[in-house]
């Protein structure tokens, strides 16, 4: 049997399965919440995430930072697209004192800033980003490229960006996103 012999599970198949079967975990004993893809690759797909899965993913993320020898005291600035929470500024900010989740009490770490944005006002977003050192910048490459369409990423380096971590899509090495990955190395 080869890979080509297997049937393809389409986005529509997943949507139907989630609608008909619901969460595979018993909700009375395991907290679950419904999430969805952003529709960027076609059919929007909803799925269930358990608290256990959230904890595993958080700990696995921290483990990767440790394996890579990263400085946990740097801030973690995370961008997420949002069709909700539309504001005049085009973004909403949540900030917490640590980004290691359940491991915050074990390690000294930087702040966590989540920026949910729909159509951010670039000037207001720049003011927000200047409030704290950026540290690890977790963002979709296309959003980064939209915000810095002129190709000048010096703002990010000047405001403490040490590493660019692309999410949701591949970063094109010829565009500004690739250069951000290196700006932390020059300091």
Residues 93 and 134 sit within 8 Å (Cβ to Cβ): no
**Tell me: the pLDDT tens digits for 47-62?**
888 888 888 888 888 8
| pTM of the shown model | 0.73
Q: For the segment 60-101, what is each residue's pLDDT rounded down to a tens digit? A: 888 888 998 999 999 999 998 876 656 778 899 999 999 988
Distance CA 112, CA 65 (A): 15
First to last CA, the chain: 52
Query: Is the backbone of residue 22 left (phi > 0), alpha (psi -120 to 50) or beta?
Result: left
Rounded distance, CA 37 to CA 20, Å? 18
User: Does position 179 have pLDDT exceeding 60, yes or no?
Assistant: no
- The average pLDDT across 8-19 equals 81
* Res 174: pLDDT: 52
């Amino acid at each position: 049997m080869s890979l080509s012999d297997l049937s393809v599970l389409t986005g529509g198949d997943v949507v139907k399965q989630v609608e008909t079967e619901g969460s595979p975990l018993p909700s009375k004993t395991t907290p679950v919440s419904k999430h969805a893809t952003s529709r960027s690759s076609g059919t929007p797909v909803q799925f269930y995430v358990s608290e256990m899965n959230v904890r595993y993913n958080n700990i696995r993320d921290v483990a990767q930072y440790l394996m890579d020898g990263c400085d946990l005291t740097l801030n973690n600035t995370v961008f997420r697209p949002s069709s909700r929470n539309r504001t005049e500024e085009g973004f909403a900010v949540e900030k917490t004192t640590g980004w290691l989740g359940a491991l915050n009490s074990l390690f000294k770490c930087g702040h966590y800033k989540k920026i949910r944005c729909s159509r951010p006002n670039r000037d207001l977003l720049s003011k927000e980003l200047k409030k704290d050192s950026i540290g690890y910048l977790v963002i979709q490459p296309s959003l980064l490229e939209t915000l810095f369409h002129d190709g000048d990423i010096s703002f990010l380096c000047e405001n403490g960006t040490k590493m660019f971590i692309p999410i949701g899509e591949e970063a094109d090495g010829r565009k500004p996103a690739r250069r951000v990955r290196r700006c932390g190395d020059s300091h």
